[in-house]
Amino acid sequence: MGIAKNGIHGPVSGKVGQVVWYESNGQNLARGIGSRTAARTPNEIQSSNRQSVLIKFFVKIKPFITKGFSGAAAGTTRNFHNLAVSYNRLNAIHPDKSKTDILYDKVRLAQGNLPTPQNPSVTKNAEGLEFKWEFEGLANDRRNDRTMLLAYFPAKDLFVYDTSGARRKTLSDELAINELYINDTMHVYMAFCATDETLDVSNSIYLGQIN
């Protein structure tokens, strides 16, 4: 049953016949519900499998990709999850469509217009990961942007991340890693996010594999 909270001229939510109404980013949208009897084609199965791999990958870091893609989704009919999956399905999955391997060096975890980290680096120490970068030639209004840091451990399917770390002007930050897996293979990413209400972020950068 569809519900019109503000009368016939207001937005509708719910199901009306074979149409589902919903709101996304302040817009009232509708999508049809179809039925299908034909078997899926091999290409459709492959596409579904590739998408499923990304959905599983992102579900454990929802706060990170929410922050990383919400700004890009604002004002569109898409949401942060749609954008994250769409970009990475095209760019971060093995080009052989019969495979579903994630190309970790191609993964994007944030997308926006802020300046990316300048000459970033990451090293491992006894407590975890130490990140360093530069801050030269950028407007001072970017000095308070905060880091977004993430490490992924494929052998354990485990993520460690921080969505609001040190300020850009500090030139360094740390991400604590448990000693139980500090020596495991990890893939490391970094971005910056604004501290105001703009939701803006930088594109994330892959800093490489450690161990």
CA distance 71 to 80: 8
C-alpha closest to that of 121 among 129, 134, 135, 132: 132
DSSP string, 3-33: EETT-TTS-EEEEETTEEEEEETTEEEEEE-
Q: What is the pTM of this model?
A: 0.81
Three-state DSSP at 43 gives helix
- Give the pLDDT confidence of 182-210 residue by residue, as tens digits: 999 999 999 999 998 889 999 999 999 99
What distance in Å separates the CA atoms of residue 143 and residue 64, rounded to the nearest whole number? 21
Residue 97: band (very low, low, confident or very high) from pLDDT cuts 50, 70, 90? confident
In the chain, CATH 2.60.40.10 covers 42-210
- pLDDT per residue as tens digits for the range 169-183: 999 999 999 999 999
CATH topology of domain 42-210: Immunoglobulin-like (2.60.40)
Under 8 Å CB-to-CB from 42, ≥6 apart: which residues? none
